């Protein structure tokens, strides 16, 4: 797994949405770049705020515009295979 951080996660979401590869894990709706809504809050099991900031962690998620499910970005990144 590639070391994740909030900025890397945001970029990965942008790329996945732009390639039509981002879905809601609950209802399987496609999340478009225009429909991508990302939120975060401080959480000890979240992603580091930066590559050198392991003590500042945020739980990052995107909300499905169709069903409202809050998709944990950490799970998306962990299930992702890097080329």
Please give the residue ranges that form the binding site for Zn ion (CB under 5 A).
24, 26-27, 29, 64, 66-67, 69
In the complex, least distance from residue 81 CB atom to Zn ion, rounded to whole angstroms: 23
In the complex, least distance from residue 8 CB atom to Zn ion, rounded to whole angstroms: 24
- The label of the residue with tokens 């797994």 reads 1
How deeply is 44 buried, as exposed, middle or buried, from its count of CB atoms within 10 A (0-12, 13-18, 19+)?
exposed
In the complex, least distance from residue 43 CB atom to Zn ion, rounded to whole angstroms: 22
Residue number with CB closer to Zn ion (35 or 49): 35
Residue number with CB closer to Zn ion (2 or 27): 27
Please answer whether residues 4 and 54 qualify as being in contact, where contact means their C-beta atoms are separated by less than 8 angstroms: no
Instruction: Give the closest residue to 54 by CA, choosing from 46, 63, 62.
Output: 46
Residue number with CB closer to Zn ion (36 or 49): 36
Nearest-angstrom CA–CA distance, 4 and 74: 8
């Amino acid at each position: 797994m590639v070391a994740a951080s909030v900025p890397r996660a945001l970029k990965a979401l942008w790329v996945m949405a732009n390639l039509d590869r981002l879905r809601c894990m609950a209802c399987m709706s496609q999340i478009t770049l225009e429909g991508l809504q990302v939120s975060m809050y401080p959480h000890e099991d979240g992603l580091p705020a930066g590559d050198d900031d392991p003590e500042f962690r945020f739980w990052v998620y995107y909300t499905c515009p169709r069903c409202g499910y809050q998709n944990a970005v950490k799970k998306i990144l962990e299930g992702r295979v890097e080329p």
